[in-house]
Amino acid sequence: MSKGNIYVVSGPSGVGKGTVVREVVEKNEKIVLSVSATTRQPREGEIDKVHYFFLTKDEFQKIIDEDGFLEHAVYCDNCYGTPKQAVLDKVEEGYDVILEIDIQGGIQILNKLPEAMGIFILPPSYKVLEKRLRGRQSETDEVVKKRLAAARNEIKQSYLYDYFVVNDELELAVEKVVKIIEQNR
Ligand code: ADP
Ligand code: 5GP
């Protein structure tokens, strides 16, 4: 059995990364999502160990000290990291693994693992991005403003990625991502 590939999927907060990747993994059973660790508080409906490993700062630091993350980054005041062994095991088992992570972590992975590929999800416009971010109603106005400011910088650095997908019509964006992954097998 051949090994799977690692895909870094990034894009500004609210662009729809989570929505797109959830549908991608439903369409193909050989594509799986890496579950990240974070120090941020769970949103309503988020389940520990399913959506994230929700950790305290001390627990997060312990994993850093043990070199247990493939990458980690601070995004808008919270820590996020990709557990290393779980990803490497899935790749060995032949699964394509999606890391839905911010661009700082994404660039760390693309530099560290040259075989990994980057897919950057773009909004159709900044206006639509703001509408989606506010429409999710999961962040305060202050956090929304911070995330929108971060979006401009993230898009500037997106040239380091291999593929670009505009998430306008959800179904089309999902199909594009599935096609990219399948064509690299
Ligand atoms: P991200 O993971 O990038 O922060 P989410 O997946 O949480 O973004 O999506 C942000 C909001 O935008 C959600 O309310 C989601 O339902 C909505 N959304 C995602 N994709 C689309 C799309 N193609 N068209 C319209 N709304 C979308
Ligand atoms: P959220 O708080 O909206 O779930 O995520 C905020 C940002 O952190 C998003 O851009 C998301 O992709 C990113 N993120 C989630 N998990 C990780 C991770 O393990 N590492 C890094 N670097 N970023 C992550």
Write the pLDDT tens digit of every residue in 62-113.
999 999 999 999 999 999 999 999 999 999 999 999 999 999 999 999 999 9
Ligand number, closest to the Cα atom of 21: 1
Ligand 1 probe mutation, 19, 36, 78, 172, most atoms within 8 A of CB: 19
CATH architecture for the domain at 6-183: 3-Layer(aba) Sandwich (3.40)
Between the CA of 54 and the centroid of ligand 1 the distance, in Å, is 22
* The model's pTM: 0.96
Q: Where are the domains of the chain?
A: 6-183
Between the CA of 133 and the centroid of ligand 2 the distance, in Å, is 15
Secondary structure (H, E, C), the chain: CCCCCEEEEECCCCCCHHHHHHHHHHHCCCEEECCCEECCCCCCCCCECCCEEECCHHHHHHHHHCCCEEEEEEECCEEEEEEHHHHHHHHHCCCEEEEECCHHHHHHHHHHCCCCEEEEEECCCHHHHHHHHHHCCCCCHHHHHHHHHHHHHHHHHHHHCCEEEECCCHHHHHHHHHHHHHHCC
Ligand number, closest to the Cα atom of 107: 2
